[in-house]
Chains A and B, each alone.
Chain A
Amino acid sequence: MVMFSAGVSSAAPPATGERVSFVSCPIVRDTSSVPCWLSEYEGVIYFLTLQTDVSAPVNPPWLGHKVLVEGVVSGKADVCGGRVLEPVTLSVMQELDGSCNTLLPAEDRYNLDFEPPRPPGPSRGRLAFGNPTPAGAPTVDSAPRDFTLQYEFDGMVAFRHAPTLQRMLETARATHATEVRITGYRSASRLSNGTVMRERESIARERAAQIRTLLQGAGLEGVRYSLQVKDRSKRPDGTGDAAHRRAEVSIVGPN
């Protein structure tokens, strides 16, 4: 990770619809059901997400690490005492940080006024957001041929990518693919204070190469792998930066 600071900062509380990007410690607040995940930036407490399960679209960060928060201030009522960011993208910073160690006890005033998607114990028969892995192989006609993997900052393939990789593999097999085209991207993030964080220089190539290695490791041999890299780290604008942390995969012919 490479950081540059432009010294731009805004002390005014953000308005609804405003984007905020910052690196800070996550905070856990217990409730009478599942814990909330919060973070503080420039005196404002933001609600990041709830504890749910592996199928959730946004997964909680980790104490012991800072987190890169990139989100939009929503107009929803506060949750657990924090202004709600939605949508929000979270990236756990890889280096350990022992100062990120705040676990707040439950308080009646911060208890959830809705039922969480998943209780803190065993599920009620299904995962909160459905089965994270596909039920069966796609048909030739129905199979999407293009896939996108979104990454955390400086991140590579992780648990959340397994279902998408599975669909790529099954699509390639079902369509008797002859080629897999992979484009790895490198991105940067412009923080609300003007600092620019750039992903490591080699990461676009690493992302593309890793996907090829993983598909080969899962048995997808006999196809041509075409790898490209694209660098989107030059002009981060603080709006779509997280979306550029990705890899695109296209499954090509013959069916």
Chain B
Amino acid sequence: MRCRPIRWPVIAIAGFWIGTCHAQEVAGHVPEQNRQAQQAPSPPGSSEPSATAWWLPGDGKTLAVLAPYRNAFGSVGVLNAQGPVATAGHPFFEPIGRNGRACVSCHQPANGMSVSLEMIRRRWEETEGKDPLFAPVDGMDCPHLPAADPKSHSLLLERGLFRIFLPWPPKAEAGSDLDPEFTLEVVRDPTGCNTHPDFGLRSANPMVSVYRRPRPVANLRYVTHQGFGVFSFIGKNGLPASRDPETGLPSAMNLLSDARQPTLKTQAVEAAVTHLQFDGKLDDERLGRIVDFERQIYVAQIRHAEAGDLMEAGGPPGLGVRNVAAGRDGLLGNNITNYVIPLGDRWKGNRMRESIVRGENVFMFRTFWIRDAMHLNTVGLGNPTKRTCATCHGMHMMGMDVANGWMDIGTTNLPWAREEPLNPWNSRKPLLPLFKVTCKANVPPHPFLGRVFYTQDPGRGLISGKCNDVGTIVMQQMRGLAARAPYFSNGSAGTLRELVDFYDRRFNIGYTDQEREDLINFLSAL
């Protein structure tokens, strides 16, 4: 790695590795993240044996045009639209940072370019926790914890969550402090990270630690589209959209769960710093190769264990990875021309196919009352609104929000977020931190939660500093779900059943057993 002109000082902490290179300036909150990433220790070595489907950084294999990987529901397919990818020397696949990880470490082809909890646990067992996946910087609950102890990695091993550390108060794009509309108080800190003297909110480099799932690096032409709803002002609140620093164009703001990075390139810069412990800004040549790779890779389920081949000729136009690769991006789904996930009307043949079609119908047309969901009920629909799953999950072919997709449906904000039941008969303790949020007196209270409320992850609020953004999370694409459990940004739904049950409970939907089963089957075929 080449050293860059000195712009960020690296803090030396007794007992930790001390960086010798310094990072080139990049925008916003990343310099502070770099200081903490370089402060965290890194594991010794990365040349552990590969599991069957585990893609080892620096492996040098070729990723085929179409690579199928088995999962519990059939097979997921990874399609490289530009042809096979020679991964030797490719910056997405090479360990370019200090800790032996590559991008592929957390974006595994076998897991639909995310990484499943099952895979993480298997990797732990096979390497006795020595794989770079478990790097202290974010693969531990907090970097100061003892190495090789599964308790130090409880969130990764039990929920599939990596630590995301973000400066507090938030940073503007130019790097100055924002004045947040709310105060943040740590009321529960099971990982010890938010109160740690070197890594926490009161450290010299004040940082909030939250814990999130890796989002799939696939189908990103859709995720980063410039079509419907992408404008200079955010359709949810009228505030300026973040922009591509190179072109000035507004971003769809759908990449990360808090929309903190506008483009694949800026995301890669941050990810190299925070996840790979790369000390600096990646050079344009490597950034270009990473982005080119990410723009051409697609993921979808290609075979269903009971429904059969999802790519057969004349099959549903919304299923199978080739259809995903051929689809139009930037479209809002509707019920006449661009169904969110078009299945057509000719797909029959067995009971599972019929169930999947019924599940799609539930997704599109089964109404229920959506209530107290920030950035959904507040954007012109009223509270409550009688709508369907496809109201929010509206992007054609992806099933995510078409733009600026952060909402609070209660996955991280109390009272709806999954919490460990506390009673004398349960020895399990809460895994996630809990923050008390107080909206300041000079701003309106949160429309549905009031002036004081609690959250496991402030989500978009950690970036915007807006009280009504606390707990809002950018909606996830629905492709390759079968390959990458658990679900939601905090891994709180372990299975597709738990995912559907969350909505059923949150919105009092009252699904019948048949509706629930059909919806799960539909999701498992995407």
A69 within 8 A of B: no
Task: Tell me if B445 and A132 are in contact (CB < 8 A).
Answer: no
Task: Tell me if B382 and A120 are in contact (CB < 8 A).
Answer: no
Question: How far is B232's CA from A169's CA once the two chains are assembled, in angstroms?
Answer: 8
B386 within 8 A of A: yes
Question: How far is B231's CA from A52's CA once the two chains are assembled, in angstroms?
Answer: 22
A63 within 8 A of B: yes
Residue picked from B243, B387, B450, most chain A C-beta under 10 Å:
B387
Which residues of chain B are near A161, meaning CB under 8 Å? Answer: 233, 238
Which residues of chain B are near A121, meaning CB under 8 Å? Answer: 335, 364-365, 367, 387-388, 390-391
Mark each residue of chain B from 352 to 385: 1 if its CB lies under 8 Å from any CB of chain A, else 0.
0000000000001101010110000111111111
A28 within 8 A of B: yes
Question: How far is B240's CA from A217's CA once the two chains are assembled, in angstroms?
Answer: 6
A139 within 8 A of B: no
**Of the residues A53, A157, A219, contact of B248 by C-beta under 8 Å:** A219
| Chain B proximity of A97: nearest CB distance (Å) | 11
Which residues of chain A are near B335, meaning CB under 8 Å? Answer: 121-125
Which residues of chain A are near B444, meaning CB under 8 Å? Answer: 94
A214 within 8 A of B: yes
Task: Tell me if A62 and B382 are in contact (CB < 8 A).
Answer: yes
**Of the residues A96, A122, A126, A169, contact of B340 by C-beta under 8 Å:** A122
Task: Tell me if B386 and A51 are in contact (CB < 8 A).
Answer: yes
Task: Tell me if A157 and B364 are in contact (CB < 8 A).
Answer: no
Which residues of chain B are near A65, meaning CB under 8 Å? Answer: 383, 447
Main secondary structure on chain A at its contact with chain B?
Answer: loop
Residues 185-211 of A contacting B (Cβ, < 8 Å): none
Residue picked from B238, B371, B384, most chain A C-beta under 10 Å:
B238
B235 within 8 A of A: yes
Mark each residue of chain A from 58 to 71: 1 if its CB lies under 8 Å from any CB of chain B, else 0.
01111111000000
Task: Tell me if A162 and B235 are in contact (CB < 8 A).
Answer: yes
| Chain B proximity of A220: nearest CB distance (Å) | 9
**Of the residues A61, A120, A165, contact of B386 by C-beta under 8 Å:** A120
Question: How far is B236's CA from A71's CA once the two chains are assembled, in angstroms?
Answer: 26
Which residues of chain B are near A55, meaning CB under 8 Å? Answer: 380
Task: Tell me if B381 and A60 are in contact (CB < 8 A).
Answer: yes
Residue picked from B250, B336, B380, most chain A C-beta under 10 Å:
B380
| Chain B proximity of A121: nearest CB distance (Å) | 5
**Of the residues B234, B337, B390, B448, contact of A125 by C-beta under 8 Å:** B337
| Chain A proximity of B464: nearest CB distance (Å) | 12
A96-B445 contact given A120-B386, A121-B387, A122-B390, CB 8 Å threshold: yes
A159 within 8 A of B: yes
What residue in chain B is nearest A165 (Cβ atoms)? B233
A225 within 8 A of B: no
Task: Tell me if B233 and A28 are in contact (CB < 8 A).
Answer: no
Question: How far is B340's CA from A60's CA once the two chains are assembled, in angstroms?
Answer: 26
Q: For this complex, into which size category does the number of interface residues on chain B fall? A: 35 or more
Task: Tell me if A122 and B333 are in contact (CB < 8 A).
Answer: yes
Binds B, one of A29-37, A78-86, A107-115, A237-245: A29-37
B422 within 8 A of A: no
Mark each residue of chain B from 205 to 240: 1 if its CB lies under 8 Å from any CB of chain A, else 0.
000000000000000000000000101111111111
Task: Tell me if B336 and A124 are in contact (CB < 8 A).
Answer: yes
| Chain A proximity of B439: nearest CB distance (Å) | 11
**Of the residues A28, A34, A103, A123, contact of B334 by C-beta under 8 Å:** A123
Which residues of chain B are near A169, meaning CB under 8 Å? Answer: 232-233
B91 within 8 A of A: no
B170 within 8 A of A: no
Task: Tell me if B334 and A124 are in contact (CB < 8 A).
Answer: yes
| Chain B proximity of A208: nearest CB distance (Å) | 15
Task: Tell me if A59 and B235 are in contact (CB < 8 A).
Answer: no
What residue in chain A is nearest B173 (Cβ atoms)? A217
A54-B379 contact given A65-B447, A124-B335, A169-B232, CB 8 Å threshold: yes
Which residues of chain A are near B378, meaning CB under 8 Å? Answer: 62, 158-159
Residue picked from B243, B250, B335, most chain A C-beta under 10 Å:
B335
Question: How far is B381's CA from A37's CA once the two chains are assembled, in angstroms?
Answer: 11
Question: How far is B387's CA from A217's CA once the two chains are assembled, in angstroms?
Answer: 34
**Of the residues B229, B231, B381, contact of A51 by C-beta under 8 Å:** B381
What residue in chain A is nearest B449 (Cβ atoms)? A96
Question: How far is B468's CA from A196's CA once the two chains are assembled, in angstroms?
Answer: 29
Task: Tell me if A133 and B387 are in contact (CB < 8 A).
Answer: no
B394 within 8 A of A: yes
**Of the residues A64, A132, A160, A218, contact of B240 by C-beta under 8 Å:** A218
Task: Tell me if B334 and A157 are in contact (CB < 8 A).
Answer: no
Which residues of chain B are near A60, meaning CB under 8 Å? Answer: 380-383, 385
Task: Tell me if B447 and A133 are in contact (CB < 8 A).
Answer: no
What residue in chain A is nearest B229 (Cβ atoms)? A133
Task: Tell me if A162 and B238 are in contact (CB < 8 A).
Answer: yes
A53-B381 contact given A122-B388, A159-B235, CB 8 Å threshold: yes
**Of the residues A28, A52, A163, contact of B384 by C-beta under 8 Å:** A28
Task: Tell me if B388 and A120 are in contact (CB < 8 A).
Answer: yes
Residue picked from A59, A64, A65, A159, most chain B C-beta under 10 Å:
A159
| Chain B proximity of A58: nearest CB distance (Å) | 9
Question: How far is B390's CA from A64's CA once the two chains are assembled, in angstroms?
Answer: 25
**Of the residues B234, B237, B239, B243, contact of A219 by C-beta under 8 Å:** B243
Task: Tell me if A103 and B238 are in contact (CB < 8 A).
Answer: no
A228 within 8 A of B: no
Task: Tell me if B450 and A30 are in contact (CB < 8 A).
Answer: no
**Of the residues B236, B241, B339, B383, contact of A64 by C-beta under 8 Å:** B383
Task: Tell me if B233 and A166 are in contact (CB < 8 A).
Answer: yes
Which residues of chain B are near A124, meaning CB under 8 Å? Answer: 334-336
Residues 209-236 of A contacting B (Cβ, < 8 Å): 214, 217-219
**Of the residues A94, A103, A125, A166, contact of B232 by C-beta under 8 Å:** A166
What residue in chain B is nearest A65 (Cβ atoms)? B447
**Of the residues A35, A64, A103, A158, contact of B237 by C-beta under 8 Å:** A158
Which residues of chain A are near B380, meaning CB under 8 Å? Answer: 52-56, 59-60, 159-160
A141 within 8 A of B: no
Residue picked from A53, A55, A121, A126, most chain B C-beta under 10 Å:
A121
Question: How far is B386's CA from A120's CA once the two chains are assembled, in angstroms?
Answer: 6
Mark each residue of chain B from 41 to 59: 1 if its CB lies under 8 Å from any CB of chain A, else 0.
0000000000000000000
Residues 85-133 of A contacting B (Cβ, < 8 Å): 92, 94-96, 103, 120-126, 132-133
Residues 328-359 of B contacting A (Cβ, < 8 Å): 332-340
Given A96-B450, A124-B335, A124-B336, list of 15 further CB < 8 A pairs?
A: A52-B380, A60-B382, A61-B382, A62-B383, A64-B383, A95-B445, A121-B387, A122-B334, A122-B335, A122-B340, A122-B390, A133-B229, A159-B235, A162-B235, A218-B232
Q: Chain A interface (Cβ within 8 Å of chain B)?
A: 28, 30, 34-35, 37, 51-56, 59-65, 92, 94-96, 103, 120-126, 132-133, 157-163, 165-166, 169, 214, 217-219
Query: Which 3 A-B pairs rank lowest in CB-CB distance, beginning with the nearest?
Result: A60-B382, A217-B240, A62-B383
